[in-house]
Structure 1
Amino acid sequence: MGDSHSIVSQIGDLAQSGEKMIERLRRKAFLPDSRKGLNVRFGIAEAAQLLGCSTNRIRMAEDDGRLPAAPAGENGRRIGYNVDELLHMREVLDALPHRGPDDVPSMIAVQNFKGGVGKSTVTTHLAHYFAVQGYRVLVVDCDSQATTTTLFGFNPHFNISREETLYPYLSIDPTQADLLYAVKNTPWPNVDLIPSNLELFDVEYELAAAGADGSSILAARFRKLKQGLMDLARNYDVVILDPPPALGTISLAVMQAANALLVPMAATTPDFCSTVQFLNMMDQVIAQLVEAGIEIDYNFVRLICSKFDANDPSHTMLRAIMEQTFGAALLPVPILESAEISHAALRMMTVYELEKPIGTPRTHKRCKANLDEAMGQIEQLVRAGWGRVEPSSEEEVLHAPA
């Protein structure tokens, strides 16, 4: 008996040495204060493409003083614009993609109960994609595993206390009346984060215990999360929710607070089967929630294939099966498996944060182009929800059938 106890006590030792190693990695990856800096820059051609204008228009605005002179390095050559400068440029040249005052903020839950599908990777890349495009973004980490919080440069164990998560707002004895207390700045000037840590899981216990006396407490909590997020969302265009990968109370509250659902899935048979199970469960649960008087309504529900390797025949076969099964609900462009994404994750970054390629420039370029296209599909859905149809490019207009 003593033996098995000592084996179990190893778990604590493993956790402790793991935490120490995370700190070492963090010190290597981050600045001394354990907050990441954002050093990514955009050349004038890329800036013009992002703003949908000509490089000439940017140069003219710099010449006539509407924009500051282009930043230059020590040798006098242009060094490209940082994200702050890019946002200022959007403001001056009237190229901010913000929603209109009557448009409802898009609140996207990124959910699948299967682990390892890249849920947090999709969440953070989506947030940074929207940031580069000039949107105001709020990311809400609702998962006590806190991977998204970590990817944003916070250590959930050392930097984040329970009082800084959703806990004080959602607990049975709440100490906060709104969610403003939890919003943190990130290295991105137009992305904020509500972080998470392991103690957020206490909410599950509390609500499960309270729910045993009847579901009215749960229903009130569900409405409370939605209300709190809607109040906060007034200052944002897009809110991205990362729920726990399990059918618990928090997960259900998040699914109810969202107005769009994105389901990432990897191209393997077990992932396909478990995603079908997830959709089945969601269907049943939504029916029960509606019966209990809790509304759920989505502007869009889409599946996205993540970690797709075009050179793997089994991936290609499964992708065909997904297309046949899910039809138009499956986004046409998958997120390709790329060493660049894994290399960036090792540094606790997304590809959008890299100053320069980690692998070959070609790999980096291909990966970024794919991410832009994959995430751009979601941006189009968000804009369609606001009644914005993207203007056709000149090319399309010229070659359109009469």
Structure 2
Amino acid sequence: MNSVVSQIGDLADAGERMIERLRRKAFLPDSRKGLNVRIGIAEAAALLGCSTNRIRMAEEDGRLPPAPASETGRRLGYTVEELLHMREVLGASPRRAPLDVPAIIAVQNFKGGVGKSTVTTHLAHYLAVQGYRVLVVDCDSQATTTTLFGFNPHFNIKRDETLYPYLSIDPTQADLLYAVKRTPWPNVDLIPSNLELFDVEYELAAAGSDGGSVLAARFRKLKRGLSDLARDYDIVLLDPPPALGTISLAVMQAANALLVPLAATTPDFCSTVQFLSMMDQVLHQLTGAGIEVDYQFVRLICSKFDGNDPSHAMVRAIMEMSFGAALLPVPILESAEISHAAMRMMTIYELEKPIGTPKTHKRCRANLDEALRQVEQLVTQGWGRVQPLSEEEVIHAAA
């Protein structure tokens, strides 16, 4: 190996060391990611679909603990854990009923740079704030989602903590419980990834003449493992590699819903059309091989949309003409706040305070809530639910 080629490894090592330094700086004092966000009583009431007075009454009569307060008596706001407890006490939990099928959503596009991992992580945190039990499965050896959850895949995650021991040619695990990790969010768990997960692709490619049967077995195995885990969750989010490989195919078969992020550019649109065409061919091949694939919904969501860019508006109009109702009507807007949060290995839902201006933060959060609520509604519709009215909406309707 010549010196120029060997330099690639040096660059990778230097980059990994810098990621670890950034992680330690971001997660001081104990170098572990925490969740310090607080939710005010007005926002808590809106999330629970009740009035602030109902929360105060529950605190006064002892059903809820006294509101957290500072030394001066000012309300500090509620933690996510406290909010989850409030949901249970006030009967405002959105959890699926025992007979409802957990949503297992693959967030997939073979085009890189569309915000796939960013959408996955923000969707997980949005659903957590709404009160759902969420499992995120990072199936991509690039491990961006794992990093956003506060784990350095190079230093903190071993191959035996990923999907590898379950999917490899010589598996050492019979189920996926071994891989589930707690995250700073009390109702979000993670199966992490790292670069070594890619070894599964090599192993299955070298499976020999019976490779087809080995692949089919691995497809069924991942679906079975995820279905077993999903019993303890409401929603499972899968982040597969941005390429048509063995793991991607297994994820596509294991999911029961598909969410396709795409940016509002002509190359992204063209690439997504190619992705959909390839998916169609592959799904027909899987069905022909006796591997069942069934989706409750397939939707596309426009990400990184700049409403002030005429070219974005033009491409989005093309998307609407092409995809119709399959394109979710509310796009995720391009925002410096999302980029700034990502620099801190965080999502908007983890920020204690705005990074930019309060107006920019508020606009970004409102857009994310509206855009991601579209996915939540698809899930609850699958459970046969009609979105409940808040107390204020009921009073207004009766007036």
Same-fold status (TM-score > 0.5): yes
Q: Which runs of 5+ in 2 are unaligned?
A: none
1:154: which partner in 2?
Answer: 151
- Say whether the 8 Å CA contact 2:204–2:211 is kept in structure 1: no
1:332 to 329, 332, 342: 329
- Say whether the 8 Å CA contact 1:34–1:153 is kept in structure 2: no
2:101 to 85, 101, 104: 104
1:175: which partner in 2?
Answer: 172
Q: What does 1:221-232 correspond to in 2, within 5 Å?
A: 221-232=218-229
Number of residue-to-residue matches in the alignment: 397
CA distance in 2: counterparts of 1:234 and 1:382, whole angstroms: 15
Q: What does 1:344-363 correspond to in 2, within 5 Å?
A: 344-363=341-360
CA distance in 2: counterparts of 1:7 and 1:321, whole angstroms: 45
C-alpha deviation, 1:391, in angstroms: 3.1
Q: What does 1:10-89 correspond to in 2, within 5 Å?
A: 10-89=7-86
1:278: which partner in 2?
Answer: 275
C-alpha deviation, 1:118, in angstroms: 0.2
* Cα distance, 1:7–1:78 mapped onto 2, change above 3 Å: same
SS for the counterpart of 2:59 is helix
- Say whether the 8 Å CA contact 1:34–1:154 is kept in structure 2: no
2:294: which partner in 1?
Answer: 297
Q: Does 1:213 align with 2:210?
A: yes
- Say whether the 8 Å CA contact 1:211–1:218 is kept in structure 2: no
**TM value normalised by structure 2:** 0.97
CA distance in 1: counterparts of 2:223 and 2:349, whole angstroms: 30
2:316 to 297, 310, 319: 319
Q: Which runs of 5+ in 1 are unaligned?
A: none
Amino acid at match of 2:67: A
C-alpha deviation, 1:296, in angstroms: 0.3
Per-residue CA deviation, residues 260-303 of structure 1 (Å, 9 max, x unaligned), is 00000000000000000000000000000000000000000000
C-alpha deviation, 1:74, in angstroms: 2.2
1:257: which partner in 2?
Answer: 254
C-alpha deviation, 1:33, in angstroms: 4.1
C-alpha deviation, 1:397, in angstroms: 9.5
RMSD of Structure 2 on Structure 1 (CA): 1.4
**TM value normalised by structure 1:** 0.97
Amino acid at match of 2:12: A
1:196: which partner in 2?
Answer: 193
- Deviation >4 Å, runs of 4+: 392-400
Per-residue CA deviation, residues 170-218 of structure 1 (Å, 9 max, x unaligned), is 0010000000000000000000000000000000011111164341111
Per-residue CA deviation, residues 342-397 of structure 1 (Å, 9 max, x unaligned), is 00000000000000000000000000000000000000000000011113566599
Q: Does 1:138 align with 2:135?
A: yes
CA distance in 1: counterparts of 2:278 and 2:64, whole angstroms: 53
- Say whether the 8 Å CA contact 2:49–2:389 is kept in structure 1: no
C-alpha deviation, 1:399, in angstroms: 7.2
2:244: which partner in 1?
Answer: 247
- Say whether the 8 Å CA contact 1:40–1:355 is kept in structure 2: yes
CA distance in 2: counterparts of 1:34 and 1:111, whole angstroms: 31
C-alpha deviation, 1:34, in angstroms: 3.0
CA distance in 1: counterparts of 2:189 and 2:268, whole angstroms: 31
1:128: which partner in 2?
Answer: 125
